[in-house]
Amino acid sequence: MSLPNPSKGWRSSSSRLLALYSFLFVAWSCILMGVLYYEVSDYLGNLAKHSLMQRQHLFSRFQGEQLDEALATSLTFDMRTVDAYGLFDAQLRPLSGPIQSIPEDLPLDGEIHELSTCIVSDDPNLPQDSCDAVATQTPDGRWLVLVRDNGSLFAVTRIILHALLWGISLTIIPGIAGWHLLRRRPLQRVRAIQASAEAIVAGDLTYRLPLSDRRDELDMLAAIVNAMLDRIELLMHEVKGVCDNIAHDLRTPLTRLRAQLYRIQQQAAEGSPEALQLEEVIGETDTLMARFRGLLRISELEDHQRRSGFLQLDPLPLLQELYDFYLPLAEEGQITLTLDADQPLPSLVGDRALLFEALSNLLSNSIKFTPPGGEVILRAVNDDGSPRIEVLDTGLGIPEAERVAVFQRFYRCDDTHAGFGLGLSIVAAIVSLHGFSLEVRNRDNGGAWLTLHCRQSLINNL
């Protein structure tokens, strides 16, 4: 059984929380920037209008030649390309000043107006973008046009806008880097927890979830799970010890019982009813002892300390030995046994005797449940650097609802099947001991299809 992989990318909770925080931060920064930009723009707009109104009131105090001198003097102090004026006669003909024509959109009403296009002229010193302008009539009947460019004041707004954009950009960049770093550490810890959990799921209850020195939420959860595992391991050992002790303790008196029954059978007259009954009793005793031997065998295989004897081996000679061993049995049942193996096959790490026992169980079951004239195939292929061993037959197959239950102890599909229901349990224990996986399915044309995946990645983690 394999555990699901940790969530990656945007699926992990840390990534989602950090992304949500980043989104809210950027959203509030944009709102702040918008409010600040609006407030500063409104303030500078009012300031420009107020400044132009002061200039209008200042020049309204002069008349005739005094006005001409005041306007000429203002050219010395005014900022070029920002402030400009034009003096026109009653027929709107230019008299003096840089402005030689009244802007088309400027009403002659003495009020300040904001113009999208200020002065149409080739003179680069005249305001030509948006500006505030006013046209007032002097007491002597002339017209005075005053203009103030908005661009100079709104340059402050642009500076503020650029500063805010740079601030957001310089915040987003370390934010993305921080998001990447912050999400990696929890995922690394989750992967470490997953590795330990997979070992526990594989049957090794000595593993515990890793703990860090931070004692955060993950450590609290891991500590709780470890405490549960300690209790589960203790209970499992107690139950296993009781079952093993019962099987071991009963094996000796059963052996003695069978010996006594055999002596009594030898003393009874051959062919007598007593001798026949004793033969049946001895047969039942042998069946009971075989079951106890099977239970002790499974208990032995579930002890993962047997991995210390694993060696690297070539599966091809093992398969050839299995084929030679079961070929006479298949021929006796009028069944065609075929060995189909890639050459060469990748090596694997394991116990040769145990693998022989597991494959023997699978092969003998296929031969047992295949009718005469059928076919059993022992196949081995290279599966991306790891051997994959398959046993296929043309029997009745295994119902989908029973493909998990057949590996349970004492389970049989029905009472007509001979055996104790321990063979596939032994196979499951050997497969779990090696870290392999066993897949059970049916062929399209009928019959069972059992696949032993010897994944090298799983072997290396043993």
Site of tokens 């002229």 = 121
- Model pTM? 0.45
pLDDT at residue 412 is higher than 60? no
List the domains of the chain with CATH numbers: 1-200 (no CATH), 217-302 (1.10.287.130), 307-460 (3.30.565.10)
How far apart CA 454 and CA 245 sit, in angstroms, is 33
Question: Which position has the higher pLDDT, 283 or 325?
Answer: 325
3-state DSSP assignment of residue 115? strand
Cβ–Cβ under 8 Å, residues 151 and 116: no
Main-chain phi, psi angles of 58, to 5 degrees: -65, -50
How far apart CA 183 and CA 416 sit, in angstroms, is 57
429-433 long-range CB contacts below 8 Å, 24 or more apart? Answer: 429/298, 429/301, 429/302, 430/301, 430/354, 430/355, 430/357, 430/358, 431/358, 432/202, 432/203, 432/302, 433/203, 433/301, 433/302, 433/304, 433/306, 433/307, 433/351, 433/354
pLDDT at residue 461 is higher than 50? no
Question: Which position has the higher pLDDT, 171 or 111?
Answer: 111
Percent of the chain at pLDDT > 70 equals 77
pLDDT digits (tens, 9 = 90+) for 319-371: 999 999 889 899 998 999 999 988 888 888 887 878 888 888 889 888 888 89
Question: Which position has the higher pLDDT, 83 or 289?
Answer: 83
- Predicted confidence at residue 345, as pLDDT, reads 87
Average pLDDT, the chain: 77
- End-to-end CA separation in angstroms for the chain: 15
Highest mean pLDDT among 51-60, 241-250, 316-325, 436-445: 316-325
3-state DSSP assignment of residue 391? strand
How far apart CA 396 and CA 374 sit, in angstroms, is 11
pLDDT at residue 304 is higher than 60? no
Question: Which position has the higher pLDDT, 292 or 443?
Answer: 443
DSSP 311-373: EEE-HHHHHHHHHHHHHHHHHHTT-EEEEEE-SS---EEE-HHHHHHHHHHHHHHHHHTSPTT
Q: Taking every pair of C-alpha atoms in the chain, what is the biggest distance, in angstroms?
A: 160
Q: What is the rounded average pLDDT of the residues 62-80?
A: 79
Sign (positive or negative) of CA dihedral 316, 322, 328, 330? negative
Site of tokens 């980043």 = 22
pLDDT band of residue 458 (cuts 50, 70, 90) is very low
Q: What is the rounded average pLDDT of the residues 380-392?
A: 88
pLDDT band of residue 442 (cuts 50, 70, 90) is confident
pLDDT digits (tens, 9 = 90+) for 20-53: 777 777 778 778 777 877 787 778 778 778 888 8
pLDDT band of residue 419 (cuts 50, 70, 90) is very low
- Predicted confidence at residue 76, as pLDDT, reads 75
Question: Which position has the higher pLDDT, 453 or 5?
Answer: 453
- Predicted confidence at residue 336, as pLDDT, reads 92
pLDDT band of residue 460 (cuts 50, 70, 90) is very low
Tokens found for residue 256: 């003695």
Query: For the CA atoms of the chain, what is the radius of gyration?
Result: 47
- Predicted confidence at residue 457, as pLDDT, reads 43
pLDDT at residue 416 is higher than 50? no
For residue 293, the Cα-to-chain-centroid distance in whole angstroms is 45
pLDDT band of residue 154 (cuts 50, 70, 90) is low
